[in-house]
Amino acid sequence: MIRQHVVRGISAPVAVGLLLLMGCSGKGDIIPMNLTPKAKEATSASPAVKSMPGPKVVVIPFEDARADHARVGSRSSMWGGETDFHVSSGSAGEATGQAFADYLKRKGWLVQYQKVAPQESENGPSIVLSGKILDLTVDAKRGFVMTDVEARSKLVIQANNREDGSSIVRTDAHSGSQDNVFWFEPQDGEELLAEVLEKNFERFVLNTKLEDRSIRFR
């Protein structure tokens, strides 16, 4: 998951000097982050996932209950430098909804992401998934040489069944960490945050089941 980098062809003093420079980034810098993991290249050993029989589902953007709707953490150093991580799209709520829809597609659900809930119709979706972001953070703290990375997520996921007007709600929180990363790159934090976020999606799916045109708790 977290890649380890080795410096070759650089003397020890130069390598240490580079690390010092990298740790002194000034405040106010912003690094964009993507909450959806990059799709792996398709191979003959891993065929494309086919949609399973089931109701049509739509995922809409999550409500962001945090004070800052774009920021998802920071990278700091022992010298006081700090760089903020922001969601690439500018909206963590939209990015989380898109990531949830992508996850469900990989599980074979008949699902689409839309920025607004569609009107009820005969051919429309039977289930609308939404939610609320309570926490979504990845922090990278650089020491003298190594960097420790920690990610946290806490989501409320709600499913509205249009067939009978019922709904279910579940709240989950997850965290993950990677210590002593020698050569930290923003992608390392991005991947860890995406993995932690997917734990919430996974927990929701494991504890629910699709019945006819509705979703219920197991």
Beta-carbon contacts of 62 under 8 Å, excluding residues fewer than 6 positions away, are: 92, 93, 94, 96, 97, 100, 130, 131, 132, 133, 155
Q: What's the sign of the alpha-carbon dihedral 60, 65, 71, 77?
A: negative
Amino acid at 138: V
The mean pLDDT of the chain is 83
Q: Once rounded to an integer, what is the mean pLDDT over residues 99-128?
A: 94
CATH of domain 50-217: 3.40.50.10610
Would you kindly state where each structural domain of the chain is located, as residue ranges?
50-217
| Alpha helices per DSSP H over the chain | 12-22, 92-106, 186-206
Q: What is the pLDDT of residues 164-176, one digit of tens each?
A: 999 999 999 999 9
Strands 167-181, 82-87: pairing kind: unpaired
Task: Confirm if 201 and 104 have CB atoms less than 8 A apart.
Answer: yes
Q: What is the pLDDT of residues 129-158, one digit of tens each?
A: 999 999 999 999 987 778 999 999 999 999
What does 132-172 look like in DSSP terms, one character per residue? EEEEEEEEEEE-SS-EEEEEEEEEEEEEEETTTS-EEEEEE
Beta-carbon contacts of 61 under 8 Å, excluding residues fewer than 6 positions away, are: 91, 93, 94, 96, 97, 115, 130
Q: Once rounded to an integer, what is the mean pLDDT over residues 98-122?
A: 94
Short-list 135, 139, 169, CA closest to 64: 135
Distances (CA, A) of 213 to 110, 146, 162, 192, 204: 12, 51, 8, 34, 18
When comparing pLDDT for 200 and 33, which is higher?
Answer: 200
Short-list 216, 135, 119, 105, CA closest to 169: 216
